[in-house]
Structures are given as structure tokens and as C-alpha cells.
Amino acid sequence: MKFWPLTGLGEVRAGDPLTADLARLAAASGMRAGDVLVIAHKPVSKAEGRVARLADVEPGEAARRLARETGKEPELCELILRESRSIIRRRRSLLICETHHGFICANAGIDRSNTPDGTAVLLPVDPDASARAISAALSEELRGLVPVVICDTHGRAFRRGLVNVAIGVAGLRAVVDHRGGRDREGRALVATDQAMADELSAAAGMLMGKDAGTPAIACRGVEFVAGRGDAGDLVRDPDEDLFRGD
């Protein structure tokens, strides 16, 4: 199993032909059908125009109150509220949000790093659709299925340190169900849903670099299960989640 970065993507701007650029770079880097591409969400968001200028944001009353309570800018608070279904935990300036996609992450995934001053990068509106578009371009260029995982860097309950997790998936099953398999003693395996898209994201994260210079990582030799792909499979049903309520 092998991972390597696609080089040469450069800074992405709204409207850039990212899928075509990635297909070209994938071919140039030696990717082939059956490989997987993992890409950070930021270039995807930028290409899709999901960058907000804070000066253009009009904070409402709730955002102004949240700004006073957290010390964040009111414009940023307005964006966080717009991008959130709910705020599930807060402490001082830390806001843990449930995005409209259902992901639980700080500040609804809004990011101020590696974007010009006075702007903020939002998550793609439909990351699975973004992944499907990239996968289609790569699969055509490389003449066979190339699954795509779009990832973001999240904190976690109970554990320190950030890891990348999948927020958009195309071409492979995000969660692989091994039930029906057997262990080496022949006992049926239970509770063995493998979060493969998250494993891929975490692995690729090691090569992305914190300066975000290499956001696209090729993966070879991964035994994925082909499928439509749905990052929603990675979201635990709120009714089944023991850590959501207060």
C-alpha cells in the first residue's frame, strides 16, 4: 500500500477547472485506474467559490451575541451559524457545531488558514457531489474507476490531536461491513464496520503537510469496496449516539 502527493496544483481560485487540473496531475504523477485520490476540502471549496469575505457578511442579532460571548468576530459567528444545523457544545471561544451535512466539528468547518486575510473557507455544499465530479474526471482520464475521498481535519472527543476524516466520498463504500465474515477460530465477526474512508483520510493526512502545500494524495494498493460513495454513512445516527446529548 503506497501513498504519494500530487504536485503542481498551486493556489486554487473560484471557478478554476479543478477537476480537469486534478485529472491532468493524476496522470502525470503515474496514477492509474484502481488507485484512490484523497484531497483536502480546501482547494475544492475554493474552486467552488465557497470562500466568504467577512466584510460582505451582515451579522444578525444571534451572531452579535455569540461574538460577545466567544470573542470571535461577529461576521465569523454569522457564517458559523449559517453553516450549522446546531451548536452542540461550547466553551469560551470553542464552538462544536453540527453542520448541515451532519458532521460534528469546530466552527462548522470554517477555516481561516491558507486563505487571504479577511476571508474564510467554508465546506463544500455537497462534498459527495464534489467527490463524484472529481472521480468522474479522473476515471475518464485513467480509463477505469478512481474513487475520491474529500477530507477535513477534525478534533475528536476524548483524544488529543487532529486527524483527517472523510466529508465527501465517491466510488467506494465509506464504511465496509465485515459482518458475515469469520475470525480465525471460525466465530462470526460482529460490530466490524470499518470506516475505510476515514482510514484513507488519516493516512493521506500524514503527507498533506500543515502548510497545505500538498492537498492531493494518491493511494495505491487499497482494498476498497467499489460503491457509489456516501460520506453520510460515516455519520452516526443521532439517536444511536451516546455523546450528543447534554
94 lines the binding site for its own copies (CB under 8 A): yes
Complex with its own copies: residue 81 or 208, whichever CB lies closer: 208
Phi, psi of 169 (to 5 degrees): -140, 135
* 185 near its own copies, judged by CB under 8 A: yes
| CB of residue 200 to its own copies, shortest distance in Å | 7
DSSP-derived 3-state class of residue 99: strand
Q: From the list 58, 61, 143, 159, which residue makes contact with its own copies (rule: CB under 8 A)?
A: 159
Q: Which CA distances in Å does 91 have to 83, 162, 208?
A: 19, 18, 29
The residues pairing with 71 across neighbouring beta strands, listed in sequence order, are none
Q: Using CA atoms, how far apart are residues 229 and 148, in angstroms rounded to an integer?
A: 9
Q: Which is nearer to its own copies, 111 or 141 (CB)?
A: 111
Closest to its own copies by CB, 65 vs 210, is 210
Distance, CA of 116 to CA of 89 (rounded, Å): 29
- Interaction between residue 145 and its own copies (CB under 8 A): no
Cell numbers found for residue 237: 445516527
> How far apart are alpha carbons 151 and 138 in whole angstroms?
17
Of the pair 136, 202, the CB lying nearest its own copies is at 202
Query: How far is it, in rounded angstroms, from Cα 57 to Cα 226?
Result: 41
| Residue 2 within binding range of its own copies, rule CB under 8 A | yes
Chain length of the chain:
246
Told to check if 69 binds its own copies by CB under 8 A, we report no
Q: Which residues bind its own copies (CB under 8 A)?
A: 1-4, 11, 89-91, 94, 96, 103-104, 112-117, 156-165, 174-176, 178, 181-185, 187, 189-196, 198-200, 202-203, 205-207, 210-213, 222-223, 233-237, 241-244
